[in-house]
Amino acid sequence: MSTAPVWHGTTILSVRKGNKVVVAGDGQVSMGDTVIKSTARKVRPLAGGLVIGGFAGATADAFTLFERLEAKLEQYPEQLMRACVELAKDWRTDRYLRKLEAMMIVADKETTLVLTGTGDVLEPENGVTGIGSGGNYALSAARALIDMDMDAEAIARKAMGIAADICVYTNNSLTVEMLDV
């Protein structure tokens, strides 16, 4: 039995509605039952601001994946799907990358994708997706709110607040990035 600390945390949510796509992430990083940091930035712009992404999982692993995705986006400019598929191939076949423990949500003007270490490149239905420990809570809340008279940012903020009220590994210190679509 391993005695290594188990890192928990992260709720990442993407909402696409109207003329906006939003990726929001909470700021909590926990080890066991201790909050290590409450203001982590898990969402950031990529490709000169043409793409936004958020990660759930080990921080160093996520930064490695962000760097690899940036390189793929340089290789395949304005082709988010192609860049993500190429990253997923590398992630599954490269011995080093295969050990990385993270998931990502990335979005550009046209597409939102979830990337996993098992080689999945998934496009969510209805423009809403969530990952991480509170991802399903935020996803459920956003789906319930998507038909309301609220814009993408308001839905994301409300849904993330609901997730923070339910998931002990999620807090209300949000990073929110947006793109016009």
Residue from 3, 10, 111, 118 carrying the catalytic annotation = 10
CA-to-CA dists, residue 165 to 11, 137, 171, angstroms: 12, 10, 8
| Burial class of 2 by CB neighbour count within 10 A (0 to 12, 13 to 18, 19+) | exposed
Positions of E strands within the chain: 7-8, 11-17, 20-25, 29-31, 34-37, 43-46, 51-57, 102-107, 112-116, 121-122, 128-132, 175-180
Q: Report the C-alpha gap between 14 and 16 in whole angstroms.
A: 7
Q: Please give the structure tokens belonging to residue 165.
A: 């009220």
| Active-site residue, 10 included | yes
19: left (phi over 0), alpha (psi -120 to 50) or beta: alpha
DSSP-derived letter for residue 148 is S
Among all residues, which ones are annotated catalytic?
A: 10
